[in-house]
Amino acid sequence: MENKKIVVALGGNALGSNLVEQMISVSDAVKPIADLIEEGYEVVVTHGNGPQVGVIQDAMTLLSRENPEKHPHFPLSVCTAMSQGYIGYDITNKLREELLDRGLAGNVACVLTQVEVDPQDPAFRHPTKPIGPFLTKEEADKKAMEKRHVFIEDSGRGYRRVVASPEPISIIEIDTIRALADAGYVVIGAGGGGIPVFKTENHHLQGAPAVIDKDRASELLAEQLDADFLIILTAVENAAINYGKPDEQKLGEISVEEAKKYIAEGQFAPGSMLPKVEAAVKFAESKPGRTALITLLEKAKDGINGKTGTRIHA
């Protein structure tokens, strides 16, 4: 099992909704990751930022309204960069500490990562990506009126703002991430799906008003790093069909063809489980021998060993 390369995608909701919660959550999150490293896997970590980027933009918007001349508008791309920095800072330090405590090399590096998107992507006309905290319907309706934001009900947990979520095209810092990984570093990269950018004239990268789905960006990163496994960590141990119904069925080991059938049937919630399964399918069919896993954070090692989780393979 040595020298197998894994991209591990942490969900933003698993990191808490504020700085104190995040520091506690990250301390727990790094332990299963360290387990994989201790077993000899080469690991690259990505993470979501849905709750965090929404909170950051709300705070920056309030600052701008109080003094627009001193604090101009903070675009979503800048808020994503901020979230990458402070989430990556916590993961880097806590994972380094955990590895050193186990007598392992504490070589961990966070790479601020930009991801190219297409300015003509239809996602810019149809926002679907939930960000920010969960709200009641009354709170969401009030904010929708005040800020002209779009809100949706999110998996029975409340209402959240949705923004554009274009497809990732290329990872700008891929060579840097690859070089560090090949040199033995555990890399934290493509945080929050990456900072979305448009390529413009004279090699300029312009920030895009969007938040890229972290699972799709993680899949692209895993492909470009020639990883063996993509692990998408979420709030449930297995993906399921007929979710929440009396005949709910947890999915264990399934083929790409089975997963595509369930996608066509509408079995997975858009903005929630659907992008995870789609990313898993894309990775599993991208090259023979690749496997994608969807499971709980604390079940990652068991999932890799075939004991639990939803494993998708060609």
Sign of CA dihedral 307, 275, 113, 90: negative
Residue with tokens 């008003």: 209
Is 214 in the active site? Answer: yes
Is 12 in the active site? Answer: yes
- Residue in 11, 238, 271, 276 annotated catalytic: 276
- 247 token code pair: 């005949």
Q: Round to whole Å and give the CA distance between 177 and 150.
A: 35
Nearest to 207 by CA among 221, 191, 217, 194: 194
Is 70 in the active site? Answer: no
- Residue in 16, 48, 129, 192 annotated catalytic: 129
Is 94 in the active site? Answer: no
The answer to whether 281 and 216 have CB atoms below 8 angstroms apart is: no
Task: Write out the DSSP string of 235-291.
Answer: SSSS-EESTTSTT-EE--EEEHHHHHHHHHTT-S-TTTHHHHHHHHHHHHTTSTT-E
The answer to whether 222 and 171 have CB atoms below 8 angstroms apart is: no
Residue with tokens 């945080």: 191
The answer to whether 300 and 231 have CB atoms below 8 angstroms apart is: yes
- 201 token code pair: 């004239």
Catalytic residue set: 12-13, 129, 214, 276
